């Protein structure tokens, strides 16, 4: 995640991992991200993504909760991130731009 001691809060931490950079998000980013997850992703993917980024759980804890291997949990979360990157266009920066437009 972030190389400094500062930890990013949700939803900034999720965007940071997808983009590898700190970005300025609009105030409604959390609500819009959760809405996208709710409508476009399977329940399991949404739940694992939220546990990872909103609750701050490790892959190991998520795998224990879902009775899956750690590598499978990583795959599901990575797939969710890939889909989110392309949700707003060719990359996540366009998605963030759309969030700003919908303020």
User: What is the pTM (predicted TM-score) of this model?
Assistant: 0.70
Tally Cβ neighbours within 10 Å of residue 31.
13
DSSP string, 5-72: SPPPPTTHHHHHHHHSS-----TTHHHHHHHHHHHHS-HHHHHHHHHHHTS---HHHHHHHHT--HHH
Chain segment 72-102, per-residue pLDDT in tens? 999 999 998 888 776 644 445 565 565 556 5
Domain contains 20? yes
Domain contains 1? no
Task: Please say if the pLDDT value at position 4 is more than 80.
Answer: no
Task: Please say if the pLDDT value at position 50 is more than 80.
Answer: yes
3-state secondary structure of 89: coil
Domain contains 88? yes
How much of the chain, in percent, has pLDDT values that exceed 70?
66
Total domain count, the chain = 1
Mean confidence (pLDDT) of the chain:
77
DSSP 8-state assignment for residue 103: -
Which residues, 6+ apart, have CB-to-CB distance to 62 below 8 Å? 48, 51, 52, 73
Domain contains 4? no
Domain contains 80? yes
Domain housing 51: 12-34+41-101
């Amino acid at each position: 995640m972030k190389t400094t001691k500062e930890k990013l809060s949700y939803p900034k931490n999720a965007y940071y991992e997808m983009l590898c950079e700190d970005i300025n998000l609009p105030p409604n980013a959390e609500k819009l991200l959760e809405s996208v997850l709710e409508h476009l992703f399977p329940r399991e993917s949404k739940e694992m993504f939220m546990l990872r980024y909103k609750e701050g759980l490790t892959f190991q804890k998520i795998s224990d909760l879902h009775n899956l291997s750690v590598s499978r949990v990583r795959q599901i979360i990575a797939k969710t991130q890939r889909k989110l990157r392309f949700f707003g266009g060719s990359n996540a920066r366009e998605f963030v731009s759309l969030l700003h437009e919908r303020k």
